[in-house]
């Protein structure tokens, strides 16, 4: 893939009115979510769940790309059609999570470092050959007393940049995901400060590692008060703080920013993205899109519960969240949309 093709793919991933569906939960995370709603934690249940998601009628109207996990990219529909073909036939771009997860960081109690650089060049070549056109790597940053440390931020930013350079070499668009967690009692101001420092460090490392900014997507957290912070700012205040942070730290050459949802209530994730687009869209150099997992999938998972008989209703719930987030991309989402869950997927 040429540099121009990377740019074309990156732009298509954040095309107006569209965003990414993250369905790249590792086996461990997927099993944890299944356990909570009483679904057996088997490979067949995971395959069947992913088949339900990927065969949602009309999904390509709102979803530009899906992020798969290593197990999933090798799986097929019950009729034998590879998921990658199901995805491309729906007009959606297939992508893949390529980090191998977070480990405790040596010498840094309470902090994590993401692993997966060893052998990455070979794995990227295989995924590309299987049809993936973009890849994702997530770094996790915790806010607590004396944390995050400079060591943790720098090590994670360096790994993100080395992964991104390898992706572009392999012709895959890197989705660079430094996630500042919303767990904790910290204020929104503290999240603004930490997220700004993290993003500035990430872009400094991306530049050092010669990553072409035009051929990548940034996947950050929104700037939020900690989940347990007594003061919870309004939707508009969150939108303002998030855009302020991004303007201070993300170069204009980046085509798009696709937020993770991070455990926010799904309606709030849509409302906050919508407020950013309503208030700032015409003045921003990059598209503001979504790359949600829980904020698109959660209602569908709770309906599906592993039962084929629930598949159509679960798909309807998934389609609804995809449509709400598509509207938020356009600044056209409103709470009244939530009363129309019943309108069917085409």
Strand partners, 284: none
Q: Using CA atoms, how far apart are residues 248 and 201, in angstroms rounded to an integer? A: 12
Beta carbon of residue 292, minimum distance to ligand 13P (angstroms, whole number): 4
Closer by beta carbon to ligand 13P, 168 or else 261: 261
Question: Is 222 an interacting residue with respect to ligand 13P (CB under 6 A)?
Answer: no
Positions marked active-site = 177, 219
Task: Please give the size of the binding site for ligand 13P, defined by CB under 6 A.
Answer: 10
* Binding of ligand 13P by 272 (CB under 6 A): no
CB of 328 to ligand 13P, least distance (A): 14
Interface with ligand 13P (CB under 6 A), residue from 22, 143, 153, 218 = 22
* Out of 294, 320, 321, 323, the residue judged to bind ligand 13P by CB under 6 A: 294
114 lies in the site for ligand 13P, by CB under 6 A? no
Binds ligand 13P by CB under 6 A, chosen from 83, 134, 292, 304: 292
Question: Which region among 54-62, 249-257, 274-282, 289-297 touches ligand 13P (by CB under 6 A)?
Answer: 289-297
**Least separation in angstroms between CB 332 and ligand 13P:** 21
User: Binding string to ligand 13P for residues 242 to 261, with x set by CB under 6 A, is what?
Assistant: ------------------xx
φ and ψ at residue 261, rounded to 5 degrees: -95, -30
Which C-beta is closer to ligand 13P: that of 6 or that of 295?
295
Q: Is 324 in the site for ligand 13P (CB under 6 A)?
A: no
Cβ 256 to ligand 13P, closest distance in Å?
15
In angstroms, what is the C-alpha Rg of the chain?
19
Tokens representing residue 309 in the block: 């008989």
Residues 304, 310 contacting (CB under 8 angstroms): yes
Q: List the structure tokens of 124.
A: 């990227």
Question: Does residue 135 touch ligand 13P according to CB under 6 A?
Answer: no
The residue among 177 and 197 lying less far from ligand 13P, judged by its C-beta, is: 177
Per CB under 6 A, does 138 bind ligand 13P? yes
Q: For the CB of residue 344, give the shortest distance to ligand 13P in the complex, in Å.
A: 25
d(CA 245, CA 190): 12
Q: CA-to-CA distance for 234 and 188, rounded, in angstroms?
A: 11
| 44: number of Cβ within 10 Å | 11
Q: How far is the CB of 21 from ligand 13P (least distance, A)?
A: 9
Site string for ligand 13P, 166-185 (x = CB under 6 A): -----------x--------
* Binding footprint of ligand 13P on the chain (CB under 6 A): 22, 138, 177, 260-262, 292-295
């Amino acid at each position: 893939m040429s540099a121009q093709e990377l740019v074309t793919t990156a732009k298509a991933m954040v095309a107006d009115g569209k965003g990414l569906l993250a369905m790249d939960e590792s086996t461990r995370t997927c099993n944890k979510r299944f356990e909570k709603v009483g679904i057996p934690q088997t490979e067949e249940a995971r395959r069947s769940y992913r088949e339900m998601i990927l065969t949602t009628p009309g999904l390509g109207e709102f979803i530009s790309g899906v992020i798969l996990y290593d197990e999933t990219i090798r799986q097929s529909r019950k009729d034998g059609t590879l998921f990658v073909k199901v995805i491309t036939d729906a007009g959606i771009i297939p992508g893949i999570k390529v980090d191998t997860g977070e480990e405790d960081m040596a010498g840094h109690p309470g902090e994590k470092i993401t692993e997966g650089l060893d052998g990455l060049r070979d794995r990227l070549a295989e995924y590309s050959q299987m049809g993936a056109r973009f890849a994702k790597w997530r770094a996790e940053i915790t806010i607590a007393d004396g944390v995050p440390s400079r060591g943790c931020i720098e090590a994670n930013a360096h790994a993100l940049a080395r992964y991104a350079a390898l992706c572009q070499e392999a012709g895959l668009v890197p989705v660079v995901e430094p996630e500042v967690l919303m767990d904790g009692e910290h204020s929104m101001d503290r999240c603004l400060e930490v997220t700004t420092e993290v993003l500035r460090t990430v872009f400094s490392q991306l530049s050092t590692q010669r990553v072409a900014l035009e051929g990548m997507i940034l996947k950050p957290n929104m700037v939020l008060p900690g989940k347990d912070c007594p003061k919870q700012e309004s939707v508009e205040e969150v939108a303002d703080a998030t855009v302020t942070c991004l303007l201070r730290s993300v170069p204009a050459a980046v085509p798009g920013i696709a937020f993770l949802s991070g455990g926010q209530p799904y309606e709030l994730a849509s409302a906050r993205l919508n407020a950013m687009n309503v208030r700032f869209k015409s003045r921003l150099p990059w598209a503001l899109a979504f790359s949600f997992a829980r904020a698109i999938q959660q209602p569908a998972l709770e309906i599906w519960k592993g039962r084929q008989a629930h598949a159509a209703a679960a798909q309807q719930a998934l389609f609804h969240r995809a449509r709400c987030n598509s509207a938020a991309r356009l600044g056209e989402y409103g709470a009244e949309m939530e009363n129309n869950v019943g309108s069917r997927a085409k």
